[in-house]
């Protein structure tokens, strides 16, 4: 590409937003990869990793969010999402070797 082509080439940069979302906090800690948007009428739009989303009532969200926090923590290699009295997340031990179970011997 010469200087002329480079000068008039479309820019690979774009600006998207603004976005209005809230971080989700469980046990006084922000849950990574989890965002929420308050919906009109009292609902919650919950998004995981900016890819998967679900609309929930406030009651459903308060019941499901701790479960999602634990799932994300386990997926990141921890034993679960830390409680308030913990210093931080606890790394999980390497997965034990899986053995095949044969029935009918």
Q: Each residue of 53-84: pLDDT tens digit?
A: 999 999 999 999 999 999 999 999 999 999 98
Arithmetic mean of pLDDT, 82-97: 86
Q: Record the pTM.
A: 0.73
pLDDT of amino acid 1:
61
Q: Is residue 99 part of a domain?
A: no
For tokens 């000068």, what's the residue?
7
Q: Is residue 64 part of a domain?
A: yes
Q: Is residue 10 part of a domain?
A: no
Question: Per-residue pLDDT for 52 more than 70?
Answer: yes
Q: Is residue 8 part of a domain?
A: no
pLDDT of amino acid 84:
87
Strands (E), the chain: 22-26, 29-38, 43-48, 52-57
Residue 72's nearest CA partner among 15, 43, 98, 33 is: 33
Q: Which residues contact 94 (CB under 8 A, 6 or more apart)?
A: none
Instruction: Kindly state the DSSP code that residue 52 receives in the 8-state scheme.
Output: E
Mean pLDDT over the full length of the chain: 89
Number of domains forming the structure of the chain: 1
């Amino acid at each position: 590409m010469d200087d002329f082509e480079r000068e008039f080439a479309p820019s690979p940069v774009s600006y998207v937003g603004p976005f209005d979302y809230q971080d989700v906090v469980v046990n006084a800690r922000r849950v990574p990869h989890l965002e929420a948007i308050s919906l009109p009428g009292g609902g919650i739009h919950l998004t995981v990793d900016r890819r998967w989303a679900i609309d929930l009532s406030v009651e459903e969200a308060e019941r499901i969010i701790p479960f999602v926090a634990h799932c994300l923590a386990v997926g990141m290699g921890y034993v679960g999402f830390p409680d308030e009295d913990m210093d931080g997340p606890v790394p999980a031990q390497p997965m034990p070797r899986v053995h095949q179970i044969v029935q009918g011997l």
